[in-house]
């Protein structure tokens, strides 16, 4: 069994904000695979189903972002799962808007939700999918991450969420390496002039 956890903040106020890209991705995955994420358990909204032949538990921690790890630790301990059976999806201000980064393991970086997960599990050996929200705007970072999307951002992020859903399916069906090769997006190189 795999646990697929999207990080975010509960409540209407945060519903469509940059910091909730993890929740938004889990919601899209749930819709696509007809999984209801509506049971309150492990301080999270959870839903069981099957994706790519694998049994999965979709998890949206309801603890607020900075305590996400408490919920995920409870899930992992209850099912006695190794960290490799966890996939975490979250927003990342250090990646340009709309880019996708999949990694097998690694540090939490600057993300407080991920810091909580790594701390609670006492491990960083689990795959994660980061959705770039960029931080082009100077000013208060908190206001930026819990702010809504601009009109221009919506289509870009919708496409990235669709890619993230495909990447999760790929990890479950094939493996993380294949998903990394297929879905990690590089920065677009400026096109060379034709007369060069």
User: The tokens of 40 are what?
Assistant: 């309150």
64 is in an annotated binding site: yes
Q: Is residue 95 part of a domain?
A: yes
Task: Give buried/exposed letters for 84-102 (b at 16+ CB in 10 A, else e).
Answer: ebbbbbbbbbebebbbbbb
Q: How confident is the model at residue 82 (pLDDT cuts 50, 70, 90)?
A: very high
pLDDT of residue 141: 57
9 is in an annotated binding site: no
2 is in an annotated binding site: no
128: which strand partners? 88, 103
Active-site residue, from 19, 33, 111, 195: 19
Q: How confident is the model at residue 189 (pLDDT cuts 50, 70, 90)?
A: very low
195 counts as catalytic = no
Q: Is residue 194 part of a domain?
A: no
pLDDT of residue 109: 84
Q: Which three-class secondary structure state does DSSP give residue 132?
A: strand
Q: Is residue 191 part of a domain?
A: no
Q: How confident is the model at residue 194 (pLDDT cuts 50, 70, 90)?
A: very low
Q: pLDDT digits over 107-163, tens only? A: 888 889 999 999 999 999 999 999 988 866 555 555 655 557 777 777 888 889 999
Mean pLDDT estimate for the chain? 87
Determine the structural domain holding residue 87 and report its residue range: 2-183
Question: With contact defined as beta carbons under 8 Å apart, do 26 and 91 qualify?
Answer: no
Report the pLDDT averaged over residues 69-82. 97
Q: pLDDT digits over 47-69, tens only? A: 999 999 999 999 999 998 899 99
Q: How confident is the model at residue 190 (pLDDT cuts 50, 70, 90)?
A: very low
What is the count of structural domains for the chain? 1
pLDDT of residue 83: 95
Alpha helix (H) residue ranges in the chain:
21-32, 68-79, 112-121, 141-145, 153-173, 176-183
The CATH number given to whatever domain includes residue 18 is 3.40.50.1470
């Amino acid at each position: 069994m795999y646990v697929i956890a999207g990080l975010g903040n509960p409540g209407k106020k945060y519903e469509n904000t940059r910091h909730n890209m993890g929740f938004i991705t889990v919601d899209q995955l749930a819709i696509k695979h007809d999984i209801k994420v509506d049971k309150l358990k492990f301080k999270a909204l959870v839903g069981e189903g099957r994706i790519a032949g694998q049994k999965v538990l979709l998890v949206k921690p309801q603890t607020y972002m900075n305590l996400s790890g408490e919920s995920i630790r409870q899930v992992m301990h209850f099912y006695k799962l190794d960290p490799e059976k966890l996939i975490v999806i979250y927003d990342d201000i250090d990646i340009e808007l709309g880019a996708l980064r999949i990694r097998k393991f690694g540090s939490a970086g600057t993300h407080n939700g991920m810091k909580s997960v790594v701390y609670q599990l006492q491990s960083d050996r689990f795959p994660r999918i980061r959705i770039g929200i960029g931080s082009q705007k100077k000013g208060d970072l908190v206001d930026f991450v819990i702010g809504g999307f601009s009109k221009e951002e919506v289509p870009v992020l919708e496409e990235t969420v669709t890619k993230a859903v495909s990447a999760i399916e790929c990890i479950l069906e094939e493996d993380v390496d294949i998903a990394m090769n297929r879905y990690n997006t590089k920065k677009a190189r400026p096109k060379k002039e034709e007369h060069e």
